[in-house]
Structure formats: structure tokens, C-alpha cells
Structure 1
Amino acid sequence: MIPEHIFKHLEEKNTVTEYFFTIHLVIYADIVSFIPWSSGRDAEEIINILSMLFTKFDESSVKNKVYKVHTIGDYYVAIGYRSGMRNPFEECENMIKFAYSMIEIIEEVRKEDKELNMRIGLHTGEVIGGIMGTSIARYDIYGPDVLITNQMESNGIPWKIVISETTK
């Protein structure tokens, strides 16, 4: 859950803040109307469905060279940068492929659960990333462009990828 290039800093107990001022893609995906969808289901069923869905997303993120930042409840957050030298064009292509694979995965899961829908938002901009905590460390991302991505997803159309004009 921590980018490779950041892990050394964590081992040495150094704090790290990264500023990405060049092209950087962020993706937010979440289950549409999670509370109504989950009501009437037992906790084990909800966890099993989320686990299956997010495991498939994780596999796709590795395949498409996308970095999963974290999940928060029914949210899945990823960025195009993994570590090492940056190639913005490759990062963009990887994120678009990843977003489309998320749609395919959702379609597959909907065969078993017709009520499940997700929205996906994809935006490009500045990101601030860093390690939060020391004993239970987590890499997280912040900034206005992260918020824009979240808002794009929240106002998006189920089963669709909303891409910002900046990303386009």
C-alpha cells in the first residue's frame, strides 16, 4: 500500500511529501447509493461482494501499472504514477485502460447482483502525496485536483467514466 520509492523513507522513519506539478491522473470509483444497496443485506454478503470487486480492481491495477492509493468504504482511489521515472503519456494510457477494465469488472459482477452500479471519475492535475503515520503507515494524496476528481465521480453517471476536460 506504499509506493516502492517511498518505502525506504518509511524504514528510516523519515516523513515524505511529494508534489506532482506535472500531469498526474487520479481515479475515484464508488458504489452508487451504497446505503440503499447495502440495506437489507447482511454484513458478510456486503464484505464478500466488496472484497471480490476490489480484488479484481487490484489485479487490474497491477496489470495496468496503476497505483492503488486505498479504499475507503465503497470508494476505490488510484493514481497513474507508481514509482521511478515518469512517463505522463504512458500513465494516461494505463489509467484509461484501468478505468475501462473497471467497467468490465462491474458488468461481470452485475451478472450476480443487478442492483450494483458504480461511477468513475478521472481527472488530471496537481497532487500532493505523503506518508501518514509511522506504526500504521499509509500513503495518501491531497489537493484541489484530488477533490475535483472526487466531485466528478460523485456527479457522474452510473456505469460511465467521467473524464475531465483537462484529462481529455
Structure 2
Amino acid sequence: MDHSDRTRRAGDPERRLRRLEKRLNKSEMRRAELEHLMDGGQAFQRRVIQEVEDAKAEIERLYESLSLEQARTNQLLRSIMPEAVAEELKERGRVRPRRTKSATVMFADFVNFTLHTENMDPVALVRTLDRYYSAFDAIAASHGVEKVKTIGDAYMCVAGNLADVQSSEHAAQMCRAAVDIMKAVADLRSEETNWSIRIGLHSGPISSGVVGSERLSYDIWGDTVNTAARVADATGINEIFLSESTHALLSDDQGTTYHGEVEAKGKGLVRLYQLIT
């Protein structure tokens, strides 16, 4: 073997080593690139997962906000109309007008309201009215009576209007509510104000429904409503008067006394009875 062959063979391992080193360097570069891609993929995956979690949290917040808004809307509807009417409005988008053959309407009217309140601070006046009307609302609900609305210093409610089965019980319901309202006024009078009240009841047919589009309003109409207001006007201070139609619906053991006939505006002579409290 000559010198050149020995030199060539000695150089072959060196060349192979250099080639292996180059391949190793390329492999290291590719591994680094792969690791970089893997790290980038993992970071991208983490970002996507975080974005999904953030979107889920935002959706949950929106659902919670929507639920709260729906609850406020439902509460607002129940505060301005009977619950059965509010449910019908939500389900159908409208409320069918009702004609009730026999219901009892009550007006509770503060006596000399303007005289007592003309010098009151407006904030104090609203706060005081809120205490009275909140108490009236609770009493009405406890007796199955539906508040219709407040008209200035007058509180109007009805019993029997939404009953599925007509009966004469609505008159007794309203009488019990009227007695409790009179007691509540007496309690508040001794604690805060010197306000007095008169309460009038009348029974008969009424119509009811929801009117308006921008501002919905639940109301009742008919001669029964007008007569109930006239009875309240004729009632004595801190007393409860019933018309003859309401008195006729009560049982014999209901405590009433005949008051006599009074001239009611637009109605002529009306027979009235006083409810003993």
C-alpha cells in the first residue's frame, strides 16, 4: 500500500466526522426550530384556551345581567298590574280586555290632604306616602285584593276582578282589607303624621284591561268605579262606608250599621252602611 492510499484512508474518518458534525448541527438546528414551533404552538394553544375562557366568562356575565334585567322587568310589571295580567302580557304580548259581572272596588282617600301637605318638604311627602302605600300594598296582597293605582292621595283597589269562578267572597275580602288599612293608618298616625282617611266600597260589574304602548297602564272602568269614588266622598273621617250592593253580598254576621241615604254626585240618593271596625 503506497503512501497516498494510506493518507486517503486516514482522511476518510475525518471527513466522515465532519459530515456527521454537519448533520448533527443541522439536526440541532432543526430540533431547536421544532422546539420553537412547539413552544409557539403551546403558547398559541394557551392563548386560544384563554380567549375561549374569557368569552365564556363574558357570556355568563351577559346571561347574569340579562337575568337581572328580566327580574327587574317582571317586578316592574307586577308593581303596575296584577300578576296574572303581567304573565299574560309576557306570554302573548297583549292582554285581553275583561268584563267581570261582580267585583268590589275600594277607594281610600286621605282627608284634607292638600291642607296637611302644602307646606311639607317634597322629599318628606314622598317618603311618607311611600310608607302608607307600601303598607296598603302589603295588606291588599295578604287579602287577595288587587291594587289598581294611586290617584294623587287616593288609593284604588279591586277584589274579584280576576277570579276564575265568580262568587260573593270578594266583598268580604275587600271589607277585611279595608279594616286592616284603617288600622295601619291609625298606627302610622300615632307614629308620624296626623293624617286621617275615609274608605268607600261599592260592588258591581266592571271592565278591565291594559292600555297604552310606550307606557302601559292597567285600569278598570265602569259605573261601579265611579260609584265607589262617590261612596268614599260621602264617608265620614276614619270610617268605612259600603254601598247597598256591597252590603248585600256580606253574610249576616258581618258587622255593619245602616247609615242612611246620601246625595252622591251624578248618582242621586245612595243607601250607605258603615262597617264596624
Q: Normalising by structure 1, what TM-score?
A: 0.91
Identify the structure with the greater helix proportion.
2
> Using the alignment, how far apart are the partners of 1:84 and 1:145 within structure 2?
17
> Using the alignment, how far apart are the partners of 1:34 and 1:107 within structure 2?
16
Q: 1:126 aligns with which of 194, 205, 221?
A: 205
SS in 1 for 2:170: helix
Q: Please, what is the CA RMSD of the aligned residues?
A: 1.7
> Using the alignment, how far apart are the partners of 2:224 and 2:98 within structure 1?
15
The answer to whether residue 172 in structure 2 is matched with residue 93 in structure 1 is yes
**1:41-60 deviation digits (Å, cap 9, x = unpaired):** 11111111110001001111
Deviation at 1:141? 0.6
Aligned residue number for residue 17 of structure 1? 97
Q: Return the letter of the residue paired with 1:16.
A: R
After superposition, where does 1:60-139 map in structure 2 within 5 Å? Answer: 60-81=139-160, 83-113=162-192, 115-139=194-218
> Using the alignment, how far apart are the partners of 1:25 and 1:126 within structure 2?
9
Aligned residue number for residue 82 of structure 2? 3
Deviation at 1:90? 2.7
Deviation at 1:3? 2.4
**1:70-97 deviation digits (Å, cap 9, x = unpaired):** 1121110000126342352332221111
Q: Return the letter of the residue paired with 1:19.
A: R
Give % identity. 25
SS in 1 for 2:246: coil
Q: Is the contact between residue 129 and residue 139 of structure 1 (CA under 8 Å) also seen in structure 2?
A: yes
Larger Rg: 2
Q: Return the letter of the residue paired with 2:244.
A: E
Aligned residue number for residue 115 of structure 2? 36
Q: 1:27 aligns with which of 87, 97, 106?
A: 106
Stretches of structure 1 lacking an aligned partner (at least 5 in a row): none
Deviation at 1:158? 1.2
Q: Highest relative contact order (Cα 8 Å, sep 6+), 1 or 2?
A: 1
Q: 2:220 aligns with which of 117, 126, 141?
A: 141
> Using the alignment, how far apart are the partners of 1:143 and 1:84 within structure 2?
18
Q: Is the contact between residue 69 and residue 140 of structure 1 (CA under 8 Å) also seen in structure 2?
A: yes
> Using the alignment, how far apart are the partners of 2:140 and 2:83 within structure 1?
15
Stretches of structure 2 lacking an aligned partner (at least 5 in a row): 1-79, 248-277
Q: Normalising by structure 2, what TM-score?
A: 0.57
Greater Cα shift, 140-149 or 39-48 = 39-48
Deviation at 1:20? 1.1
Aligned residue number for residue 152 of structure 1? 231
> Using the alignment, how far apart are the partners of 1:14 and 1:28 within structure 2?
27
The number of aligned residues is 167
**1:105-124 deviation digits (Å, cap 9, x = unpaired):** 11101103453011100000
Q: Is the contact between residue 111 and residue 198 of structure 2 (CA under 8 Å) also seen in structure 1?
A: yes
SS in 1 for 2:114: helix
SS in 1 for 2:184: helix
